[in-house]
Chains A and B, each alone.
Chain A
């Protein structure tokens, strides 16, 4: 009796290893690739046949002419093959050191900006280390620097940012944000590259 139960359990688990483990996952690959290949393949952005990244995955931007994203805790930053957070607790001195260092960097790169104007997302690192977005305030803060570096008027660049602000889902869920890669691609287009 007991052996029969174990034997049935074994047959059942093996059956579902095949049907659910392989069947379910592969069926979904088929549906994804068949119906929504763009999204199923990672929302990749290509230019001249080269993949330059994914719309959903942040990239590191450090040059003055680009909008910068959030601090990333992966090694190296924005390592999309190994997502990670800093995991710093609120009373860990390393957290305050990180924020101070990032803040000094932001203030140095954006002359005229005061600490009390810097939104937290620009100095506090993201959860995945791959955050593709920043808050609208973090984007507007960088407008003077980016405009200067690209020889554009601040008004033009500010309008570009405004076009790229995404709102909350259903007006409730999430927070307003700007996709940094898409913004920088639009910027390059504006400059004429």
Chain B
């Protein structure tokens, strides 16, 4: 480990905190009534969108109506995306590489994947999709994170409103987040990414004659625009098979640093937005602190194990000039920045990669796996991470309440049986889906045949696939052959479960909370803004994550780490 590799974690955290604070205030003004400097340009556009779509943005909605509209936008988006991808052989514009039909299972999985903000890719972009199809994917890369913000607003209004039957207007929340936040930032991001080296053109793949006289076909296309929204929207679905490790999508460390900032800005802003919405910014502190603590620990552990390298090499007497693990990593990023990025991509839930996660050391690979298994609450994607953390907060307060025998309160609302049930439901759904589908996959021939690396690492591949699906993350242990009908269908199912059955109970919780009266703070109220609550919250995340998954992790990454030390190899 080098000091640069450690310091860069904290520099990134500091930069995104400052950006998140400003962006959070801006989002609060945009969404909860206020004026921003963009209003002059965007208000007329907003009105135009409402008129074109026949929307009344002023009707207040009950939570059920809010969710219904949200679901319909997702369902319609999914159907239209599937149709557009199926039309690839027919719509021949912007298809200079003459990409043929997208296979049905790939299309189904991809359309679910981009609708749910997962961006799991069981295809190679540059070998499967036309430029036009890539552009259709960017549409969902805008719409799916915005959906996440709507979920957040629906939940947090449960705390910020009192004696209220309604939680806002879905259309207004959706359109304003899209116009005020997603589009302008993506445009700026794309321009910066081009300046840092990413291509943005519609030409046919370039044929080069290399110095040694080989013929090299260089895939290009509108890379920068997709990379910008994939990172900003915490989508992660990239233009190329190897995502941002491909040098056009991740040309240098400067571009990667910028992409990290893009990915973190809105999730961090969501914490500040939450503080403003509940009119007590101190309440956002323990949430931010818990996320930051778990993020830094993960980054350091991952970096440590990648710097120490693969113990199997030493056990087999392969002594190189340095031990750090560079299999599946790029020289320009090195182990430090690669570790930071792979930890970030699974905490903030964008799923873009600059390395092959399958080739991380066993414990190095455990870190991103664990990040996803917590339910993607360490910052998490747009809105979704924040409400996942609110669910953990509700559970933590319930546990604390049990200890002292008192009905817990959070942000001035009594937490009763319905709220706790909904919070726990949102945690049980993902763990159940990950464990059941993983168990089926390692038991059935259809699942086993897709595993690439033998031994415990194969189990890690399968666990990673479903954790990534449920966590709506999208990164992968890439060896797993996920384009088979079995994995296309099951991972597709995991992505759906990880989006709707996971978050809709929390919106129901928000709806129930909004109806309640505000209870004044008393001497018996557990303070939820201090270090004690930070510890309680962090502990709940770790314990709930670890208890459920520890047996599976013991058989996968932990077993492999010990085996590697002993020089035990598997298969072949």
Q: What is A's interface to B at a CB cutoff of 8 Å? A: 2, 4-17, 20-22, 24-25, 27-29, 31-33, 35-36, 39-44, 50-54, 56-63, 66, 70, 78-97, 99-100, 103, 115-121, 123-135, 137-138, 166, 168-175, 177, 181, 184-185, 188
Is the Cβ of A8 less than 8 Å from the Cβ of B54?
Answer: yes
Distance of B333 from chain A, by nearest CB (Å): 5
Q: Return chain B residues, CB-CB under 8 Å to A51.
A: 206-209
Q: How far is the CA of A125 from the CA of B201 in the complex (A)?
A: 29
| A84: chain B residues within 8 A (beta carbon) | 124, 241-242
List 17 additional A-B contacts (Cβ < 8 Å) besides A11-B53, A39-B197, A130-B242.
A24-B138, A25-B222, A39-B194, A41-B220, A44-B206, A81-B219, A84-B124, A87-B479, A90-B312, A90-B361, A96-B316, A118-B321, A119-B322, A128-B330, A166-B332, A173-B4, A173-B337
How far is it, in angstroms, between the C-alpha of A15 and the C-alpha of B80 when the chains are bound?
12
Q: Which residue on chain A has the smallest CB distance to residue B73?
A: A9
**Contact between chains at B211 and A185 (CB < 8 Å):** yes
Q: Are B187 and A87 in contact (CB under 8 A)?
A: no
B328, A25: Cβ atoms under 8 Å?
Answer: no
Q: Are B11 and A16 in contact (CB under 8 A)?
A: no
Task: Find A87's partner among B218, B354, B359, B569 (CB 8 Å cutoff).
Answer: B359
B142 at the interface (CB under 8 A from A): yes
B500 within 8 A of A: no
User: What CA separation (Å) do A35 and B194 show in the bound complex?
Assistant: 10
A122 CB to nearest B CB, Å: 9
A177 to B211, CA, bound (A): 20
Q: Which residues of chain B come closer than 8 Å to A63, judged between CB atoms?
A: 212
Shortest CB–CB separation between residue B196 and chain A, in angstroms? 8
| Alpha-carbon distance between A2 and B67 when the two chains are bound, in angstroms | 12
- What are 14 A-to-B residue pairs whose CB atoms are below 8 Å? A13-B77, A17-B80, A24-B229, A28-B187, A32-B199, A87-B479, A88-B359, A116-B321, A119-B321, A120-B325, A124-B326, A126-B331, A169-B252, A171-B4
Residues of B within 8 A of A (CB): 4, 7-8, 11, 49, 52-55, 68-69, 72-73, 75-77, 80, 84, 124, 126-127, 135-136, 138-139, 142-143, 171, 178, 183, 186-187, 190-191, 194-195, 197-203, 205-212, 214, 216-220, 222, 224-226, 228-229, 240-242, 245-248, 251-254, 256-257, 309-313, 316, 318-337, 353-356, 358-362, 452-457, 460-461, 477-479, 560, 563-564, 568-572
Residue of A whose beta carbon sits closest to that of B124: A82
Given contacts A32-B200, A174-B253, contact A5 B53 (CB under 8 A): no
Which of A16, A52, A127 touches B356 (beta carbons < 8 Å)? A127
Query: Is B208 within 8 A of A54, CB to CB?
Result: yes
A173 contacts B256, C-beta separation under 8 Å: yes
Cα-based distance from A188 to B143 in the complex (angstroms): 50
Bound-state Cα–Cα, A185 to B356, Å: 30
CB distance from A151 to the nearest CB of B (A): 18
Closest to B146 in A: A16
CB distance from A23 to the nearest CB of B (A): 10
Known: A128-B247, A169-B257. A86 touches B318 (CB 8 A): no
A82 near B199 with CB under 8 A, answer no
Q: How far is the CA of A78 from the CA of B222 in the complex (A)?
A: 21
Given A28-B194, A87-B452, A15-B49 contact (CB < 8 Å): yes
| B246 contacts A174, C-beta separation under 8 Å | no
Separation of A8 and B61 alpha carbons in the complex (Å) = 16
- The smallest C-beta distance from B373 to any residue of chain A, in angstroms, reads 19
- Which chain A residues border B143 with CB–CB below 8 Å? 13, 16
Are the CB atoms of A92 and B457 closer together than 8 Å? Answer: yes
Contact of B245 among A42, A97, A128 (CB under 8 A): A128
Contact indicator A127/B329 (Cβ below 8 Å): yes
Q: B73: which A residues are within 8 A, CB to CB? A: 9, 12-13
Q: Decide: B359 and A89 in contact? CB cutoff 8 A.
A: yes
- The smallest beta-carbon distance between A14 and chain B, in angstroms, is 7
**Complex contacts, B569 vs chain A, CB 8 Å:** 91-93, 96
A131 partner, pick from B199, B218, B247, B461, beta carbons under 8 A: B247
What's the Cα separation between A21 and B271 when bound, in Å? 30
Contact partners of A115 in chain B: CB under 8 A: 318-320
Kindly state the separation between the CA atoms of A166 and B334 in the bound complex, as whole angstroms: 13
Check A5–B72 contact: CB distance below 8 A.
yes
Chain B residue nearest in CB terms to A138: B331
The answer on a CB contact under 8 Å between B53 and A29 is no
Closest residue of chain B to A178 (Cβ to Cβ) is B331
The distance in angstroms between the C-alpha atoms of A103 and B251, with both chains bound, is 28
User: How far apart are B148's CB and chain A's nearest CB, in angstroms?
Assistant: 16
Contact of A175 among B171, B246, B318, B332 (CB under 8 A): B332
Distance between B245 CB and nearest chain A CB, rounded to angstroms: 4
The answer to whether A16 and B142 have CB atoms under 8 Å apart is yes
- Asked whether B205 lies within 8 Å of A81 as measured between CB atoms, the reply is yes
| CA gap between A32 and B221 in the complex, in Å | 12
Q: Are A83 and B337 in contact (CB under 8 A)?
A: no
A128-B242 in contact given A20-B183, A86-B359 (Cβ < 8 Å): yes
Assembly CA distance A28 to B135 (angstroms):
12
Q: How far is the CA of A39 from the CA of B190 in the complex (A)?
A: 12
Q: Tell me if A66 and B212 are in contact (CB < 8 A).
A: yes
Contact A43–B316 (Cβ < 8 Å): no
Across the interface, do B322 and A120 meet the contact criterion of CB distance under 8 Å? yes
Is the beta-carbon distance between B201 and A11 smaller than 8 angstroms? no
CB contacts (< 8 Å) of B320 on chain A: these are: 103, 115-116, 118-120, 123
From B183, B191, B205, B334, name the one whose CB has the most chain A CB atoms within 10 angstroms. Answer: B334
Look across to chain A and name the residue whose beta carbon is closest to the beta carbon of B2.
Answer: A175
Q: Are A53 and B210 within 8 A (Cβ)?
A: yes
Residues on the B chain within 8 Å of A128, using CB = 240, 242, 245-247, 330
For A175, the chain B residues whose CB sits under 8 A away are 253, 331-337
| Smallest CB-CB A-B distances: 4 pairs | A175-B334, A174-B253, A32-B200, A85-B356
Q: Select which of A28, A33, A85 is within 8 A of B328 by beta carbon.
A: A85
